[in-house]
Amino acid sequence: MAPFEVHHEIESIPQNPTLQDFIHLLGRNVHAIRHTAKVTINLPGMSALYVEALPPTGEVRIEGEEFRHGIRSLRYRPGERVWLTDGRGHLAEGLLQQVGPNWASVTLLAWYDRPGEPPYPLAVVAPPLKQPARLEWLVEKAVELGATELHFLRMARAVRTALPQDRLKRVAFAALKQNRRSVLPSLHWHESWDSLPWERFPSRLMGEIGAPLRLSDALVAPPAPTLLLVGPEGDLTPEELSLLKEKSCTGVNLGQLRLRAETAALLLLSAIKTQWGY
């Protein structure tokens, strides 16, 4: 299908319009487009649709909320290519074949195992944040940057607020599809330091104000399952810092500027993503 499909003739549109042509026309004659034409823009890179099971070959059926999202919101049509993810490590490209009243069928064309995923598990540990919007932003961006686990812990100086667990799960799920990831990160809530999965992450880094070790120097070691930890904006208490040292957490200096907790977490994730090259 061509990048642009014009269903009704619009005066002054070239025979083979480009994106620049439409932008120019929108600026000159928005009223005419709104009332005289239906323009379908089929751009590559749309977000993926979720399916519970994604086999390497064959055909899958899209139903329920994903059908409503793909057909009514994204306006997929038969003959178009779509992306599918199962959130468990598989991503596929398919061809939309048929659309029924509440279902659609997709023939699989290509199947991928963990494309673009980090080579090792990558966990983020962060405190609850006072503003829900900032917490949602952290979850969304952590999914986009490749975190495989998100752990929220009530640290001593963190705000005592209820975590919107269901909302955060929906944010992570939406980011999975928007980012076309194959792995949906797991979300966990903790009341104590001991409940964190220390044994699964031999590499442990934490942002520490004034630490002598720079982040770039801490990333020299070969990749391994890594836990990234940031404290609240009131910082970690001396007792918490001592406990984390006992847990073999390496403090790293994130620079001279004071960072919000979510900014520090994303800085660590971005550095890992750049270093590991996934």
How confident is the model over 201-238, as pLDDT tens digits? 999 999 999 999 999 999 988 899 999 999 998 899 99
Q: Are 8 and 106 found together in one domain?
A: no
SS3 213: coil
Assign residue 55 the CATH number of its domain.
2.40.240.20
Q: Are 207 and 234 found together in one domain?
A: yes
Q: Are 146 and 179 found together in one domain?
A: yes
Q: How far is CA 149 from CA 93, 126, 216, in A?
A: 26, 11, 23
Band of residue 274 on the pLDDT scale cut at 50, 70, 90: very high
Strand-pair category, 122-126 with 149-153: parallel
SS (H, E, C) 133-188: HHHHHHHHHHHHCCCCEEEEECCCCCCCCCCCHHHHHHHHHHHHHHCCCCECCEEE
Count of structural domains, the chain:
3
The domain in which residue 126 lies consists of 122-276
Q: Are 209 and 92 found together in one domain?
A: no
Assign residue 126 the CATH number of its domain.
3.40.1280.10
Q: Within 10 Å of residue 9's Cβ, how many Cβ atoms?
A: 8
Q: Are 96 and 148 found together in one domain?
A: no
Q: Within 10 Å of residue 223's Cβ, how many Cβ atoms?
A: 16
Q: Are 178 and 213 found together in one domain?
A: yes
Q: Are 141 and 259 found together in one domain?
A: yes
How confident is the model over 13-45, as pLDDT tens digits? 455 555 555 444 444 443 333 333 333 333 455
**For the chain, how far is it from start to end, CA to CA, in angstroms?**
31
107 or 41: which carries more pLDDT confidence? 107
Q: Are 59 and 108 found together in one domain?
A: yes
pLDDT of residue 162: 82
| Average pLDDT of every residue of the chain | 87
